[in-house]
Structure 1
Amino acid sequence: MKSVRRPVVALSSMAILVLVQAVADPTGLLALVGWPGAALRFDLGLWPLAPYVIFVPVLLGVTWWATLRAGDRFWMHTAGLTLAVLLAQATACFAMTWDAATAVWAAGYVAVKAVPAALIVAGFSRWFGGPRERLTFSAGSVWPPAVLFAGIAPLVAGLWWTGAAYAPGIPVARPERGALAMIVAVALLAGVTAVCLRWTRLRVPGVLGGWLAALIAGGIVGLVQGAVSIVVDGGVSGDVWPLMVTYIAVADGLAFGACVGWVVGLGALATDRVLARSSARTPMLVAASVAVVALAAALLVPALGTGSAAAASAAPAGFLRADGDIITDGDGNQVLLRGVNVNQLVDFYQPQPDVPVTRPLTEDDYAAMAEQGFNVVRLNLSWSALEPERGTLDPEYVEQITDAVGWGKRHGIYTVLDMHQDSWWNGPTEEGTACRPGTEPMWGYDGAPEWATITDGAPRCQFMGRDISPAGNRAFQHFYFDTDGVQSALARSWGELAGLFADEPMVAGFDLLNEPGFGQTAPVTTSHQLGRFYDRAIQEIRAAGAPQIVFFEPSILWSGLGFDSGPTPGFTDDDNIVFSPHLYAESITMDRDLGIPPIVSLERQFTLAERVAAEYGAPLWSGEYGYWGEDDDVLQRLNRYADAEDEHILGSAYWVWKQACGDPQNGIGPVGNALMMQDCATGGDAPPKADLLAVLSRAYPRTSPGVLTSLKADGASLELAGTTPERSCGLEVWIPGTGEPELATTGLTDVESVAVPGGWSITGCAEGDYSLSTAP
């Protein structure tokens, strides 16, 4: 009888590792099972308990099995323990969501924790597990199960191999990426799995041997995809994106192997039995039959379709709307929305009682923004001020919003209403709180009302910044799972607020939630649950009769990393939506805080964002960017951003127009860090950032007939080209400066230049291809 000493050592080591990590990691980001210091809740179903009553038992159960079967071989044992972590994650996520596609894809998110944990436990098992007995077994059948495993990949692709990491040209087993990419990926997966099977089945018998082959094969295919990405996705260009692509692809491959690899294990055993009763020619016949069936099934997937078509959300005349990958005015003209964020209505935490946290918002602000050529304001709102008492919108605050929208309308500026939050709510660390090692007391910031903030006693202490806090993460977790109906309340509030502006075409749209936190179980929260909230809010907005665009964001991870998964594609059947990540690469991203090379370069972030927007079938608009601090390279970086933005023909809103000295995001410095500066010593105005404003107020087309095909600008100099299938007089171009610009045009008629505050408005008509260039 085989000794159980090694499984006991492995089981004990894994249990101890889980406990030590839970205690040592105050955030749960690096721990297999996090403990935020919150009280356990037994009244909310499985989601609060899943990490403990689902994840841990599955982890320990598979650890025992993998050690019993593969514990005598270090690397096989490591693979088996990695499998244990991934399966535990998938099972726990399924218990939270009852959505299999999300759950199995989410397994890849713990790959970075699974492999180190597996190496540690495998090492302890080798040192203290007693003598080893390294037996060799029969390799048995390899090609039929390998082909079957690869052939079903397109059928069960789910959320695997999606997102910013997968550039065109990378082979992935997804039918919508084209037959060639899919066939190459399937063939690659089949071949690698067959090779791995021949190796693993000699060392590990039974189902586990085949399962581990699938796991390892998935990881190897990910390495190949990463290598291909270096060639097809811009190569190494000053950032570490190729390494991130490789990690994501490996994580996806490991998750696929872990969650589907049992097919290989069972298939290998079944094939062995068939072959044992058959002639020598049977192996080839079985492999060929499986290959034909798998390929036919894979090729059938596109014909079956991948989901229902988006519902039409036609906006009335005069309203902006999403149309494919651009924003239009409904009259055949592309619209570029370029402007700034306005945070003067935000309900910020006040660090110092005698220093105001915001500056008054007046019509003079809108007049000044119009003089810079801005045609949009992302108006930051606070749920805490909008709905301080549950179920009632504050009439005075609504009046402030209405005034701001009206001022914008008078000055030709659209408004995007943004439900802003930073670190969930404006409460600071309570006095007497003992922050766990690695965290520290923090200020509050802004966001939800107190009645919508549920922390279960988790400490309000920050780790590497305001957005990683046990209390904040716990509050977001409750929001995502709608504890006490707090998510439902915000969705209803959105409907009520949107209904008030349903007839106002100068409200461009509604930004549902600023930089949503990741809670405690990304990507369940940041993808599946976030998408559910967005869908509910959109339904409330449409039920209120509001036809405007809905802007939706990925989680705060995008702002911190330069990319993220985002809500699950297909989260809504509404097609009047715009993807709105914040393009902060080389700014507030983690890499800059840590002093390492950029994860995503400033230029590359546009391509990645467009790639994800295309998966949603939506236009792209950056709701925030900038905030490069006081470094000497601020102007240089802004110029790079402007050049890339023009190259990609995109709009955006700079952060931020005005920032008061008492704003907690400002840090109580000598000046308010914004475009329009404040002298903190006097409380009055300081000189504005004229050098940055000169870049931001550069020439651009506000509306263009048809579709723009190229754009380049520097101050008052502009070069643009476009094409329109039918005659349109919708051209409107902003040119800064006092001197009338010299124009050179092709394909344009009725061109006029009119002086406006701060510059010039160029209008004209076009039909077919057209171009315009200006010189100051």
Structure 2
Amino acid sequence: MARLLVGLVLLVVTGCDRPTDESRMVVVDGPKREEALRFSISEGQIVDQYGRLVLLRGINVSGTWKQGPTHLGTQVEPDFRRYASYGFTVIRLLTFWSAVMPERGTIDGAYLDALAQRVEWAQRAGLYLFVDMHQDVYGPGFGFNGAPIWTCDDRYYAMLIEPPVPWFFGYQNPGVLACYDQLWSSQELQAHYLAAWRAVAERLQGYPNVIGADLMNEPYWGTHDPATFERERLQPMYRSVIAALREVRPDWLLFMEPSAVKNVLGRSYLEPDGTPNAVYAPHLYHPAMEIGGAYGTLKPYFSGRINADRGESEKLSAALFIGEWGSYGSQSDYRTYLADMLALYNRSYIGWTYWESGPANSYGLVAPGGTLKPWAESLMEPYPHLLAGREPQFVRDGERYTLEYVAAADLTRPTVIAFPSFRAASLEWLEQLNVERSEIGIHRVSIYHTTPNERVRLVFRLAP
């Protein structure tokens, strides 16, 4: 079992112009796939049709879509190619009930066509995506996003006197609570929500890069007890939405979030219900950092949360995926936070979508003017996107990465490592154990094994 020391150059193709101070952020075409992969859940992991473990990492697009008349922001097709060049493989694409169904029972076909155009941009960039039906503080009637204004009584909207600071204090407004209570008790409103979801699925059903649906962003319980709410209100509605989606796209992964109480108490009350292809998709924040506080000594909190999240996903027989995480980026120790979080995700082999792409959002990767924020590159590192094996261990020590796993019995498909193209101008293998050959592509490296069921060890580093 020879060890190979090989220096390889990763080919990079220029795609489109960037701001001059980002000239080293090379833009590339998306990863070229031989065929559309199909994903499912097996033993608590996302797998493709060849049995490879699938690790998806990417970005939310976009927080800026929450407001404005179109709910589509300012992104254009080259932005999606940029996301791929960062090494990302998936997008959590935001949509809104109020955008899909602005009037009672009326679907906005023009909006769905525009949303489909963004899906096409992602597909041409080689990006998978799942659609998130987003909401915050009920909806635009309270100055936020989500449920259409017609879903609640005007007298409740009148209870909002001024915008809450911080924003999530708006959940305690009596009018907001009343609207949530009305939603969770109304079969008619929930039927409209289901119809909106079905319209989205029908419009996007022809796109193989759409892999699933995030059924509702951070559901809020109103005045209900959170535990009772999740079991008796939220899960029954989830089941209804899932049934409708299955009629259109039976292959979709179902990203199920716990209620927003998870962000406060760190636990969920969802119960196992046998949903196939379920993905447990909590968000991972700390309240102190959400109001601009330092990362400081919070590493044990985040480590404990990931362990708890893993336990909850196993209870649900679901894969674990972190749908949102991040913070303002203004903290002096933010790079340390990012490094620690990536190490935790690597250790637990967890996929994620960072909040969020920007531009001009306090959490976004992109600053006003279109340049990447100074810390953004810290988020972009290589990772095993498709693993033809089992029992993976993936760690980083400085610029040195080590990936170990047991090779699959079927060696017809390679392990694929995703790279941010701007960092992978040169890749140096320090060790390749039980590897037949490596094929270099545009921000992808395919690894072919020599012997089934034997331990594979890959050690590599990226030149600056």
Same fold judged by TM-score > 0.5?
yes
**In the alignment, is the contact (CA less than 8 A) between 2:112 and 2:203 conserved in 1?**
no
1:491 to 150, 169, 194: 194
Q: Which residue of structure 1 aligns with residue 278 of structure 2?
A: 577
**In the alignment, is the contact (CA less than 8 A) between 1:425 and 1:453 conserved in 2?**
no
2:244 to 517, 537, 540: 540
Amino acid at match of 2:340: R
**In the alignment, is the contact (CA less than 8 A) between 2:432 and 2:459 conserved in 1?**
yes
2:439 to 749, 752, 766: 752
Q: Which residue of structure 1 aligns with residue 315 of structure 2?
A: 615
Amino acid at match of 1:574: T
Amino acid at match of 1:516: P
2:232 to 528, 531, 544: 528
Q: Which residue of structure 2 aligns with residue 712 of structure 1?
A: 395
Cα drift, residue 741 of structure 1: 2.6
Q: Could you report, residue by residue, the CA deviation over 1:421-453 in whole angstroms, capped at 9, with x for unpaired residues?
A: 11110224xxxxxxxxxxxxxxx1111111223
For 1:594 and 1:740, the matched residues in 2 are separated by 34
Amino acid at match of 2:400: S
2:110 to 382, 391, 396: 396
Q: Which residue of structure 1 aligns with residue 175 of structure 2?
A: 471
Higher strand proportion = 2
Q: Could you report, residue by residue, the CA deviation over 1:391-447 in whole angstroms, capped at 9, with x for unpaired residues?
A: 23212211122111111111111111000111110224xxxxxxxxxxxxxxx1111
SS of alignment partner, residue 360 of structure 1: coil
Q: Which residue of structure 2 aligns with residue 688 of structure 1?
A: 372
Q: Which residue of structure 1 aligns with residue 44 of structure 2?
A: 325
SS of alignment partner, residue 466 of structure 1: helix
For the pair shown, the structure with the greater C-alpha radius of gyration is: 1
Q: Which residue of structure 2 aligns with residue 145 of structure 1?
A: none
- Mean alpha-carbon deviation: is it higher for 735-744 or for 411-420? 735-744
**In the alignment, is the contact (CA less than 8 A) between 2:294 and 2:331 conserved in 1?**
no
For 1:578 and 1:559, the matched residues in 2 are separated by 18
**In the alignment, is the contact (CA less than 8 A) between 2:290 and 2:327 conserved in 1?**
no
Distance 1:368 1:594, change over 3 A: closer
Q: Percent identity?
A: 25
Distance 1:344 1:401, change over 3 A: farther
1:727 to 395, 404, 410: 410
For 1:406 and 1:716, the matched residues in 2 are separated by 35
2:343 to 625, 637, 643: 643
Cα drift, residue 550 of structure 1: 0.7
1:453 to 126, 131, 152: 152
Distance 1:761 1:751, change over 3 A: closer
For 1:624 and 1:764, the matched residues in 2 are separated by 33
Distance 1:454 1:527, change over 3 A: farther
Amino acid at match of 1:423: V
Distance 1:565 1:588, change over 3 A: same
Cα drift, residue 705 of structure 1: 0.8
Structure 1 stretches lacking a partner, 5+ long: 1-315, 351-355, 429-443, 661-665, 667-671, 679-683
Cα drift, residue 357 of structure 1: 8.8
For 2:133 and 2:434, the matched residues in 1 are separated by 42
Q: Could you report, residue by residue, the CA deviation over 1:524-556 in whole angstroms, capped at 9, with x for unpaired residues?
A: 223321101111100010122442101010111
Cα drift, residue 600 of structure 1: 7.0
1:375 to 89, 92, 101: 89
Cα drift, residue 564 of structure 1: 2.5
For 1:566 and 1:397, the matched residues in 2 are separated by 35
For 2:355 and 2:250, the matched residues in 1 are separated by 27
SS of alignment partner, residue 614 of structure 1: helix
Cα drift, residue 718 of structure 1: 1.9
Is residue 567 of structure 1 aligned with residue 270 of structure 2? Answer: yes
For 1:513 and 1:448, the matched residues in 2 are separated by 11
Q: Which residue of structure 2 aligns with residue 23 of structure 1?
A: none
For 1:708 and 1:453, the matched residues in 2 are separated by 50
Q: Which residue of structure 1 aligns with residue 55 of structure 2?
A: 336
For 2:437 and 2:279, the matched residues in 1 are separated by 33
For 2:195 and 2:148, the matched residues in 1 are separated by 15
Q: Could you report, residue by residue, the CA deviation over 1:454-501 in whole angstroms, capped at 9, with x for unpaired residues?
A: 476372365862332222222122222225x11121122212322333
Q: Which residue of structure 1 aligns with residue 445 of structure 2?
A: 761
* TM-score scaled by length of structure 2: 0.82
Distance 1:487 1:381, change over 3 A: same
Cα drift, residue 650 of structure 1: 0.7
For 1:601 and 1:324, the matched residues in 2 are separated by 27
Q: Which residue of structure 2 aligns with residue 675 of structure 1?
A: 365
For 1:643 and 1:395, the matched residues in 2 are separated by 43
Compare relative contact order (CA 8 Å, sep 6+) and give the higher one, 1 or 2: 2
SS of alignment partner, residue 726 of structure 1: coil
Distance 1:407 1:716, change over 3 A: farther
Q: Which residue of structure 2 aligns with residue 408 of structure 1?
A: 122
Distance 1:357 1:401, change over 3 A: closer
**In the alignment, is the contact (CA less than 8 A) between 1:320 and 1:330 conserved in 2?**
yes
Q: Equivalent residues in 2 for 1:10-29 (5 A)?
A: none
Cα drift, residue 773 of structure 1: 1.4
Cα drift, residue 512 of structure 1: 0.5
Cα drift, residue 676 of structure 1: 1.0
**In the alignment, is the contact (CA less than 8 A) between 2:267 and 2:308 conserved in 1?**
no
**In the alignment, is the contact (CA less than 8 A) between 2:36 and 2:209 conserved in 1?**
no
For 2:135 and 2:186, the matched residues in 1 are separated by 17
**In the alignment, is the contact (CA less than 8 A) between 1:386 and 1:394 conserved in 2?**
yes
**In the alignment, is the contact (CA less than 8 A) between 1:727 and 1:765 conserved in 2?**
no
For 2:289 and 2:135, the matched residues in 1 are separated by 16
1:702 to 385, 396, 402: 385
Distance 1:333 1:715, change over 3 A: farther
Q: Which residue of structure 2 aligns with residue 507 of structure 1?
A: 210
Cα drift, residue 349 of structure 1: 6.5
For 2:317 and 2:211, the matched residues in 1 are separated by 19
For 1:317 and 1:370, the matched residues in 2 are separated by 16
Is residue 659 of structure 1 aligned with residue 359 of structure 2? Answer: yes
**In the alignment, is the contact (CA less than 8 A) between 2:272 and 2:317 conserved in 1?**
no
SS of alignment partner, residue 375 of structure 2: helix
Cα drift, residue 369 of structure 1: 0.7
**In the alignment, is the contact (CA less than 8 A) between 1:659 and 1:677 conserved in 2?**
yes
Amino acid at match of 2:95: L
Cα drift, residue 594 of structure 1: 12
Cα drift, residue 771 of structure 1: 2.2
For 2:457 and 2:93, the matched residues in 1 are separated by 33
Distance 1:714 1:372, change over 3 A: farther
**In the alignment, is the contact (CA less than 8 A) between 1:347 and 1:384 conserved in 2?**
no
Q: Which residue of structure 1 aligns with residue 32 of structure 2?
A: none
**In the alignment, is the contact (CA less than 8 A) between 2:328 and 2:363 conserved in 1?**
no
Cα drift, residue 761 of structure 1: 2.6
SS of alignment partner, residue 111 of structure 2: helix
SS of alignment partner, residue 261 of structure 2: helix
Q: Could you report, residue by residue, the CA deviation over 1:625-670 in whole angstroms, capped at 9, with x for unpaired residues?
A: 001442212111111111111111111011111133xxxxx5xxxx
